[in-house]
Amino acid sequence: MSISSPTTPTSNSFKIMDIPSYVARSTVGRFILTFLALHTAHFMTVAVYSNYCLDISFFGYFANMINGHGPVCHALMMIAYHAQHNIYSILGTAAVGVGITWLTENMFSEPKTK
């Protein structure tokens, strides 16, 4: 009789409530959670910015010169900008990491015998 950890998916005592902690501890899970958090921050700040800081009309063009450059609108735009920048950064970093891993596994692995 073997004893298995309750946090492994192959265990008989694996519970649905263990899934979030299992995902948060895996590399792919952390990547997905980070991407979703950054995307949510970007989406929400752009939605709030467009609702409260933009007036898409002829009069709004002139009104935005006065009230569209306030500190709150600027902070919302900076949060959206940096969230989007970080999304591109993690995607690029992940691509480079996968490429380096693939290269090192192919270059330094044992030759397969037939």
The tokens for 104 are 């090192």
List C-alpha distances in Å: 56 to 17, 45, 53, 60, 61: 46, 18, 10, 6, 7
- What would the mean pLDDT of 7-17 be, rounded to a whole number? 62
- What would the mean pLDDT of 24-52 be, rounded to a whole number? 90
- pTM given for the model: 0.68
Q: What is the pLDDT of residue 2?
A: 46
Q: Are 49 and 35 in contact (CB under 8 A)?
A: no
